Structure formats: C-alpha cells, structure tokens
Amino acid sequence: MKIRTMLGLGLIGTAIYAHKQRGGEMTIDSFKQSLNDLWLAIQNKASDARGRAEQFADRAQDKMKDVAGKAKSAAKDVGATAQDKAKDVASTTRGFADDASGYGSSGYPPGGGMGNGTNRR
C-alpha cells in the first residue's frame, strides 16, 4: 500500500471518528459541518503553536542580545586589565633600566666579579 493511500484512509477514518463523536447525522451536510469544525480546530491549534513559537523566538533573541552585551563588556574588562598589566610591566622595566651602571641592578662590574668590594654601590 502506498503512503499516500494510507494517509488518505487515515484522514477518512479520522473524519468519520470525529463525526461520530460529535453526534452528527449520516448526511452530506452533517459530514461537511463536522469536517469544517475539524478544520477550524486544526487551524486554531496551529495558530496557537505559531504564537508560542514567536514568543519563544523573541525571548531567545533578547537573551542573545543580553549575552552579547555581557561578552562585549567582559572583553572590554579583559582589554583594560591587559593594558594595565602592560603598563605595570613597562614601568617596572623602566625602573630596572634607569638603575645605576647599566649592568643590571646588582651593580657588579662586567665579568661578574666582586672585585675588592669597592665596585658595589
């Protein structure tokens, strides 16, 4: 049996079941009314589902904007922190370079010897 045939028979069976549940008479007009009622019920449920999906999409979009804003501010904070750290390192390095003899902060002469003790600061 083809899928199309099975779907058609299922649709007919559903229509007959709904007609019997409604208590309709076995006339063409009564069947038409039952089918119209069934179709309206399907449309109403689809419309409700569409409304819920739109609300969900709107909430998801708002959440994405919030997350993007938080990520942007976090990136700015990290950037500011990195700049502060770089400034600290630069100022610390400048302090070492400005120190005495150019041989480092220890004040030892080239060659690394201590000499007679007068080479120290």
Q: pLDDT confidence of 110, banded at 50, 70, 90?
A: low
- Helix (H) / strand (E) containing 6: helix 3-22
Give the pLDDT band (50/70/90) at residue 116: low
- Radius of gyration for the chain, computed over Cα atoms and rounded to the nearest angstrom: 41
- What does the block give as tokens for 3? 């899928």
3 state DSSP class of 1: coil
Looking at per-residue pLDDT, the higher value among 110 and 36 belongs to: 36
Mean pLDDT on 7-25:
84
- At 6, the pLDDT band (50, 70, 90 cuts) reads very high
pTM: predicted TM-score of the whole model, two decimal places:
0.41
> What's the pLDDT score for residue 114?
56
Q: What is the pLDDT of residues 35-93, one digit of tens each?
A: 888 889 889 999 999 999 999 988 888 888 888 777 777 777 777 677 777 777 666 65
pLDDT at residue 92, as a whole number = 62
- Give the amino acid at 90: A
Q: Using CA atoms, how far apart are residues 21 and 28, in angstroms rounded to an integer?
A: 16
Phi, psi (rounded to 5 degrees) for 61: -65, -40
- The two three-digit tokens of residue 113, written as one number: 């010897």
Find the farthest-apart pair of alpha carbons in the chain and give their distance in angstroms, rounded.
125
When pLDDT is averaged across residues 89-98 and rounded to a whole number, the result is 57
